[in-house]
Amino acid sequence: MFDLTNAVSVFIVVNMGSIRRAADRRMIRDVAAFGLAAGFVGLSYGALAIAGGLPAWAVVLMSVAVFAGGSQFLAVALVTAGSPVAAILAGLLLNARHLPMGMAVADVLGTRWPARLVGSHLMVDESVAFALGQAEPERRRAAYWLTGGMIFVTWNAGTVAGVLAGRAAGDPASFGLDAAFPAGLLALILPTLRQARARRVAGLGAAVAVLATPVLPAGLPVLLSLTGLFALGRGGTLGTPAAPPGGDPAPEGTPAAPPGGAGRPC
């Protein structure tokens, strides 16, 4: 039987030494910034989930066991709207991206299955993006584990703080907490919108979602917005933004843009 304590011990013993060697000050600074942002978004999630009527234990357990910011927000919205089946389907669809992401970072998880199991739980858009932004294998491993571990801690700490705040505040919308997650996603996709194709996809998807909102249950318009991908055309892909004028390459250690332009804790 899988023992989470043993798995965590394997992670600490196997990975902490290499993280200390490979992580420089810039990497730690960038990861800390993402971790801080994840904490604030987790606070928003905890407060909104409590306001939606979910029990505190379920809100915290979801953050620890599922650890999927975007899916958690969507699940809470659909469950509170009375659509639990749609919540399950939406979560599966939203997290399907983890299949190609897992193949892209398989080399950073090590060979021992407990460490790979823990590492797969820490697979978020940010940890994958930071890992793929490194050239050397050791730096890839350090970036992945450091980012995933940092965001896991801050996201769950933010969730607990949000649960407490939601109980005390009553309506989180009065403090603007309901806008934290959409604002975070918008910040993540803004660099991608420099591309004409990305603007077409985002524009079509937003239009579909807005038109469907008055006639469909909560959460379904968001799923329908995926039809915006048809704006790519044949053979179209969405990549990272073009290099700034001058053509200077990004400095070594700069993280890649999150796959798909969206992130969790996300």
Per-residue pLDDT tens digits for 190-233: 777 888 888 888 888 888 888 988 887 666 777 777 777 777 76
| Residue 156 scores a pLDDT above 90 | yes
Q: What is the pTM of this model?
A: 0.66
Q: What is the DSSP letter of 179?
A: G
Of the two residues 158 and 202, the one the predictor is more confident about is 158
Is 250 or 232 the better-scoring residue by pLDDT?
A: 232
Rounded to whole angstroms, how far apart are CA atoms 19 and 12?
Answer: 10
Question: What is the reported pLDDT for 224?
Answer: 78
Band of pLDDT at residue 16, cut at 50, 70 and 90: low
Mean per-residue pLDDT of the chain? 74
Q: How far is residue 74's CA from residue 100's CA, in Å, rounded to a whole number?
A: 22
For 107, phi and psi rounded to 5 degrees? -75, -20
How far apart CA 182 and CA 48 sit, in angstroms, is: 13
Q: Tokens 């000050």 map to which residue?
A: 25
* H helix runs in the chain, sequence order: 4-22, 25-51, 56-65, 69-80, 84-94, 98-104, 113-121, 125-132, 137-169, 180-189, 196-212, 220-224
How many other CB atoms sit within 10 Å of the CB of residue 93?
A: 13
Give the span between the Cα atoms of 56 and 53, in whole angstroms: 9
Amino acid letter, residue 190 = L
Structure token digits, residue 102: 């897992």
Structure tokens given for 167:
């109980």
245 pLDDT band, cuts 50/70/90, is very low
Percent with pLDDT over 70 in the chain: 69
pLDDT surpasses 60 at 163: yes
Ramachandran category for residue 133: left, alpha or beta (phi over 0 → left; psi -120 to 50 → alpha)? alpha
Residues in contact with 137: Cβ distance below 8 Å, sequence separation at least 6, in sequence order: 107, 108
CA distances to 23, 137, 165, 263 from 185, rounded to whole Å, are 27, 29, 22, 7
Q: Which tokens is 130 given? A: 């930071």
Structure tokens belonging to residue 38: 């994840």
CA distances from 126 to 62, 190, 211, 215 (A): 19, 16, 31, 34
* pLDDT above 80 for 171: no
CB 182 within 8 A of CB 173: no
Half-sphere exposure of 48 (CA within 13 A, CB side): 24
pLDDT at 96: 80
Quick count: other Cβ atoms within 10 Å of Cβ 70? 24
